[in-house]
Amino acid sequence: MAGYRKLGRTASQRKALLRNQVTNLLYNGKIVTTESKAKEIRRIAEHMITLAVKEKDNFETVTVKAKVARKDKDGKRVKEVVDGKKVDVFDEVDKEIKKDSATRLHARKLMAEYLYDITEVPAEAAGKKNGTKKVNMTDKLFDEIAPKYAGRNGGYTRIVKIGQRKGDAAMEVLIELI
User: Would you kindly state where each structural domain of the chain is located, as residue ranges?
Assistant: 11-57+102-177, 59-100
Backbone angles phi, psi at 22, to 5 degrees: -65, -45
pLDDT of residue 148: 93
Of 155, 121, 120, which is closest to residue 137 (Cα–Cα)? 120
Question: Using one digit for the tens of pLDDT, what is the confidence trace for 29-52?
Answer: 999 999 999 999 999 999 999 999
pLDDT of residue 1: 47
* d(C-alpha 107, C-alpha 52), whole Å: 7
- Which CATH superfamily does the domain covering 11-57+102-177 fall into? Ribosomal protein L17 (3.90.1030.10)
Cα–Cα distances in angstroms (integers) from residue 77 to residues 72, 83, 87, 107, 120, in the given order: 6, 19, 10, 39, 29
Question: Using one digit for the tens of pLDDT, what is the confidence trace for 94-135?
Answer: 999 889 899 999 999 999 999 998 988 877 766 677 778 889
**Arithmetic mean of pLDDT, 89-96:** 89
pLDDT of residue 25: 96
Region at 97 (left for phi over 0; alpha for psi -120 to 50; beta for the rest): beta
Q: How far is CA 100 from the centre of its chain?
A: 17
Please report which confidence band the pLDDT of residue 172 belongs to, taking 50, 70 and 90 as the band edges.
Answer: very high
